[in-house]
Amino acid sequence: MTSIVKKTVFAGALAFTATGAFAQENLTGETSSPGNSPHVNMVHLADVLSRAGIADVQVQEGQTATNSIVNVAEGKSDIVTAPTILHFLLENGRGPFSSIGEDGAALAENVQAIAPYNAGAYGLFAPVSTGIQSYQDLAGRTVWNGPPRGAALTVGRQTILLGSGGFKDGEDYNGYQTNWGQLPTALVDGSAEAFMVPITSPSDRVVTALAAGDINIVSFPKDIWESDAMRKFLSAPGNAPVVVPGDQLGYGPDQGVNLISEDGIFRSPGVPFATLVRAGLDADLVKAMTAEYIATLEELKTRAPYGGTVNFDVVDRVSTGFCGGLTLKYHPGAIAAWEEAGYEIPDCAE
């Protein structure tokens, strides 16, 4: 369900408006449903811009990112959150944008980034009761691997294919799909034996699944992770590596979460996201917006338990998945703000 939020209070209900300071600009934004890093990012940005008197941001939450990136490209929205793979797909008229075709290239040029981060990693996890402790154990099992269509399902299938050494949906395991809104129910009702879904550290999804019993989180096999095929996969548009020591996953020793890994480290492909703006947005305004965002990064990290693990303050090429086959660039105003704050934006993303 779509909701329009107007003043931010981060303790349950969410909204955005200027409280006190006069806001110089009125902007529109779109983001996902609550409970993940894109939503937290947009909530924070709208809140601090309002407090600083830079802008009022009217945010629509619960939006589909494939629609949001087109809306910002067409100038219907000013700021949106989306996985970076969507820029690549839009530019090339592929996947959910196949009906747009060659017109996608011109639209993609109208989209630029102000802040990268990730939505966690495509993590394999399963109830301990299933006995699943490896990708190979998925043989013949029912695995929730995404919504019925879109980039998430594609990457979920690819991750299992690589991690298992070749397992295919419908042949070696039974893929089970529902929309995102039905996922919380699937996590506890026994309809799936394992889950391949983006998870943060810690993850609300894992915590929800704990209601049905202890959980195993399965790291990507180390030998496959270090292979040439995996390096090629991780450098493709829309992918990036996530490597988290087990003691930083965010679960207590008695919480019922077990990491299955050869060396106590969780590895899995990440889900690079970015907060995006229309390219025509005034450079001075974008610089002020980005500068305020950077100045309040420590506050942003405290807004969610996983805030310190999703790279809100990381702009290097490998961690963000920029460059290579991804032509997405930063807005000039954002580049100026990051560089004045002492960060180095990759030349290929400018």
Any idea what the CATH number is for the domain that residue 297 is in? 3.40.190.10
- Among candidate residues 149, 145, 148, the one with its CA nearest the CA of residue 160: 145
Number of domains composing the chain? 2
Domain span including residue 129: 121-270
Same-domain status, 265 and 298: no
Same-domain status, 108 and 133: no
Same-domain status, 80 and 160: no
- Determine the pLDDT at residue 334: 98
Mean pLDDT of 147-153: 80
- Determine the pLDDT at residue 118: 93
pLDDT at 162 over 70: yes
Cα 182 to chain centroid distance, Å, stands at: 19
Of the three residues 218, 246, 270, the one that is the final residue of a domain is 270
pLDDT at 19 over 70: no
Same-domain status, 309 and 180: no
Same-domain status, 10 and 65: yes
Same-domain status, 127 and 96: no
Mean pLDDT of 140-145: 97
Same-domain status, 218 and 303: no
Place of tokens 């998925």: 138
Of the three residues 205, 237, 270, the one that is the final residue of a domain is 270
Same-domain status, 142 and 249: yes
- Determine the pLDDT at residue 321: 93
pLDDT at 75 over 70: yes
Of the three residues 226, 244, 270, the one that is the final residue of a domain is 270
3-class secondary structure, 11: coil
Same-domain status, 46 and 61: yes
Same-domain status, 152 and 260: yes
Q: Where are the beta strands (DSSP E) in the chain?
A: 3-5, 25-30, 55-61, 79-83, 111-127, 142-146, 174-177, 194-199, 215-218, 240-245, 257-260, 265-278
pLDDT at 2 over 50: no
Mean pLDDT of 98-106: 95
- pLDDT tens-digit series, residues 228-249: 989 988 988 988 999 999 999 9
Percent of the chain with pLDDT over 90: 79
- Determine the pLDDT at residue 155: 85
Range picked from 123-127, 176-180, 247-251 for highest mean pLDDT = 123-127
Total Cβ atoms within 10 A of residue 312: 22
pLDDT at 30 over 60: yes
Q: In this structure, which amino acid lies at residue 97?
A: F
Cα 157 to chain centroid distance, Å, stands at: 17
Q: Taking a C-beta distance cutoff of 8 angstroms, is the pair 312, 41 a contact? A: yes
Same-domain status, 66 and 50: yes
Same-domain status, 135 and 19: no
